[in-house]
Each structure stands twice: as C-alpha cells, then as structure tokens.
Amino acid sequence: MGELAVSGTVGDELVAIGLGSCIGLALVDRAANVAGLAHIVLPESQGKIEPKAKFADLAVPELIERVLAAGALRRRLDAVLIGGARMFAVGASLDIGARNAEGVRAALEREGIKIRAEEVGGNRGRTARVIVGSDISSQLAGGTRTSLLSLAGLGARARTASGAAS
C-alpha cells in the first residue's frame, strides 16, 4: 500500500494485491512499452508529503513523472483505475472507495490524462495486474481475471467497467 512501480521492460509484471477501498492506478504508453502502477490509499494528502504514492493528489503527478523518466510520452499516456470498493456498510460520505476513485479521477483530469478503462466500486477486493507490453487486468477476490486494456500496440481495445468494448 502506498507504493508505486514503473517498468519499460516487456514482460515485467506490476501487481497491486488487496485493493479494497484503495485504487490501483495504471499509467501506460503502449507505443513505448512503458507502464507504471500505484497503490493509492487515500484521496488527499492534507499537507502530508510522504509517501507520495499513498495519496491520489500526490501519486498521480509522481507516477506521471516516473513513467516519463522511463521513456513514455505524456501525450500518449492512458490511465486504468481498479479498486475503490465499498468494503463496509457506511454512509455515502464515508465511502472511502468512492472518494478514492473520485480523487484519482480529479487528479488525472488536472493533469490532462485520459482514463481508458476502469473497474471500480462493488463490495469485494481486487488485484490489479499490469504486464508490460501485454495487458492490464483486474481480478475480484476469488474470481477470474478480466482484461481491461490490451497493451499490444496502439490498435489495442479497452473494456469499460460494464465489459463493453470501446
């Protein structure tokens, strides 16, 4: 939790396990075969500065900086969000999963990064998996893996949370 990883090596696997209310944010440049994954725990840093990957408002710019340093081009970056479950029966204002998803979306919008696919919400944890040069997938706890975005070149197709091709 609160960590991020970046790779420009085809076949490398980046994994965020145990995404309950947390968000796994993948940023990819499919043409450069560069990908990064952050395990975001909270929507706002509220003055804290470390660890950057823990907070949506700090993690998004940090992940962008690191994938660019690995060879990605900003104009080709796509984002995929996984997680943000409502793990406990609480009021909407206390739904940290929804707040995390919204915090990540807002930070991506500020940075001008397009969300290509997402699988967020529900009430079960997930695992986010990025295989550089292959795909980004989500797996519900106890379920099967679902591919959300193919990374096999620029002609790849994305799947929305509903499973419809885009």
**Spatial CA neighbour of 16 closest among 81, 96, 64, 66:** 81
Inter-residue long-range contacts of 97-102, CB under 8 Å, 24+ positions, other chains counted: 97/20, 97/21, 97/22, 97/121, 99/43, 100/21, 100/22, 100/23, 100/40, 100/41, 100/42, 100/43, 100/56, 101/23, 102/43
Active site residue 22: yes
Q: How distant is the alpha carbon of residue 67 from its chain centre?
A: 13
Write down the catalytic residue from 4, 14, 22, 59: 22
Cα 88 to Cα 92, 102, 121: the distances in Å are 11, 18, 12
3-state helix, strand, coil split of the chain in percent (to 5) is 25, 35, 40
What residues are labeled active site?
A: 22
